[in-house]
Chains A and B, each alone.
Chain A
Amino acid sequence: MAATATLDILPYAEGASWNPELVCLHDTRKELLHDIWEWICSADDTTHAEVFSLCDVAGAGKSAIAHTVARDCAQKGVLASCFFFDRNIPDRRIPQKLFSTIARDLARLSNDLTEHIVHILENDRSLASASQSRQFDELIMKPFGDRHIGRPVVIVVDALDEGCNQETLSILRNKVPNLPGTFRILVTSRLTDNIRIDLLNAGHVRHTSIDIHGSVNQRDIALYIRDRLRVISSRRQLPMDWPGERRIHDFIRKAEGLFIWVFIVSEYLVTAAYPDRKLFAILEGKNILGLPANTKMDALYAEILGACDWTDADFVHSYQLVIGTVITVKTPISSSALQSIYRDNPILDVNEVLRPLSSLLTGIFQDNQPIQIIHLSFRDFLTYRALCSPEYERFQIREGENSQRLSFLCLRILNEDLTPGIPGTGYLSGVIPHTAGIPLLHESRISEALWYACRFWNEHIIEVQGPVTEDFLDALRKFLTEKLTVWMEVLYSKYPFQTLTPLREWLQVRLHVNEGCPRADSNGFKEAISLRDGTSNADL
């Protein structure tokens, strides 16, 4: 029990593990999976650890392979740990929890290891928040450096490019070879420059790509397309042989080996009106052959988005609010939380906007499931590539504007929902005297939208650049005046400490920018936060 409690101080990225629903279609990827398995079986204590890097374009199907390898290894009892990076999730778009999560998984390999790692942690608790290199050296290298394991120790790291930094790469390059040869680390990634330079030319790194235009991939994608079309025809009650052999061949040819393209097309056809016409439009509408993977994906995204009613001003406005929020939130939220965030906008129907885009988002049909964009390339399209192309301009999402709006909405939620008397609060304001510690707060008492506002208002505000409105300052003033303590009581019942120092710095800069705004001064706000005056009643 004590050992588990000690291990618990190591940060663990929840949900970063493999998912049986995301594995490859049966009978596809046979050769590659076979090669990876051979490589895993060649693990040998007498040599050094190896990395297998699978790098290819976005949408080639790398993650499905990573999930499959993780599943197969878990079934055979050799999966030690896995970490699926994801730019949509706070813990999973940065590398800070990578090695602490892996170390915690590795500690479960045997009781001795648990004890050894606990022993190390008890001697130096600062390791829990130490740099990646120190965590790797102390929590992985030290217990494993000269340990005989006797079976492969497989670690799967997916989408390295979505969360790694230079330090991560340097560990994979320079430190991993010192681990025993039983370690086998499978890494998938898009091929970025620093991954090419820092990882692929190292002696212990085996590099492979999918070769999306190769005949093996063509065969696999054909299998996949036929499988997806069967699903669509049965769901939409289309003829068994829909859409016919000629169109199937055309579909296979035009997919050009890009699995994510096929996946999104088929998701679209499952839900869209007139699937037959939609398929025709995608295959025949525009020349999509021979384009770079990104451009090909962009064309598909534009096709799907273009089917919405862009002449309807209400839709255009709602699209910016809803999709802008989905893209900008710091952690994915459900559609009901989204609706709650826009409570002051009674006309907005979140589901009305989400429904036609269901092929590009996940989780929209379940009330309490977080909504996530389907693939990183869609985010890049909306926030970056659409801005650079007049053709796609109407789809663009400006993250800065959205963050500003979200910070204001968060403040309003905090001001409205953080009411006195929430059970479990009052411990910092002296309402409940003579208590030590922090009481447990029933999570169900706090709505998802309020939790979101509590956790992220601060992060959103400090991203705001340029002048802010007087309404915004009023909301902030109200929050700091009336709600700060209860906010702390709610947040810290569950979440880690947040410093307000960057907010105070932001306030000082912002009020300077807002110089033209008369009420900022007249209301005493400026003096209030200006600690530099050194007066004893200086305020936050």
Chain B
Amino acid sequence: MSTKSPGSGLIPFFAANLSVRNRSAVIWRGLFQLSTVIGMVTLALLLYTVINKSFGLVAINNKVNPETLAVNGVPLEQLDKDTLVNILQNNVSKGKFRQLEREMPMAERTRDEVYALVIDTVVQPKDIVGTWTLVESLTRRNAIIAQVHDEHPDATVSFRSWLNPNFINSPQSSDPLAAGVRTAVLGSLLTILTTILVAFPIGVGAAIYLEEYAEDNWLNRLLQTNITNLAGVPSIIYGMLGLAIFVRGMEPITSGALLGGADPTTANGRTILSAGLTLALLVLPILIINGQEAIRAVPSSLRQASYGLGATKWQTIWHHVLPSALSGILTGTILAVSRAIGETAPLVVVGAATFITFDPSGPFSKFTTLPIQIYQWTSRPQNEFRNIAAAAILVLLIMLLTLNAVAIFLRNRFQRN
């Protein structure tokens, strides 16, 4: 009797409940796991959607059916260069061929260039009558070809990778077969360069001030709170600020008129400079917060040792704090920059050009960027523009992936020290 512990009368009660409790624990554990899986599946679905649209069969109406150009049963795309030159010679007028020779002799052109020339001048793709996704193309290839032959007897069906060297290297065009992202990629790079040049010094300076100099008073607390809040302001608001200040207010500077460098095609403030400055304001809070974290991670013993040797505050920061925080700061900067590269909304508001076919030549050029190009192509109702939008998304994701790989590399080096 006396050995029985006071609570043991409750054991049957616990035991009766135990199976219920354990069961709900298992069920909920499963639910938590499921949620995580849903997150992963969505990421996979997103990539699947983009890749699925970037490759696939396409039916094109041509002026000349490429099948008729086959020589001895060898299809056009497998012919060697000499045969292709022959085809070219036989199918275009003599004057036209001489003109092509003058531009660049056939002997100097590569096989792929001649092939592209044959497609352009002889086959002359006119319009797309249908596009199919990668999965459809792989599973229903024959059905699709039969269907196209029924509905559009003149059209040829071929497998097309929308993401191809030509796509990366061509300027924008209203023809989805010829359109490319070169203008947009160059625009993105120039804009981001402007952003980094402006935001990096200010952001690092602010981070140094807040971590090393700022005393705990109301002004500095306000600065810190304000930066945290700015990081949460929607990007489109920055776009409106950029429109009001950089595009309108500082038009003489951002259009280049004041410096005499104005681009005659622009002649207003909707330039790469305005876009870069707007994005600089947008990434500044993130850059400052990341920079602060990197500086805070530097052990204070380093500073004390430097002071002990008689260094001034700035000498300590410049020679000891900044070098050891540098890779952290760079990682943070890259992450902030990769956010800026993907930004679309503020640049639409600042006034990205809807259609430009020439490369940007400097900070005072009209601009378009890769995300804006994606947005414009996505908004078109035609299916083939969705295909090139998907290919452009792949280009954008590859750019971001490269940047993040650099950031991870820097972070790993940082952690080893």
A binds B: no
Contact residues of A with B, CB < 8 Å? none
Contact residues of B with A, CB < 8 Å? none
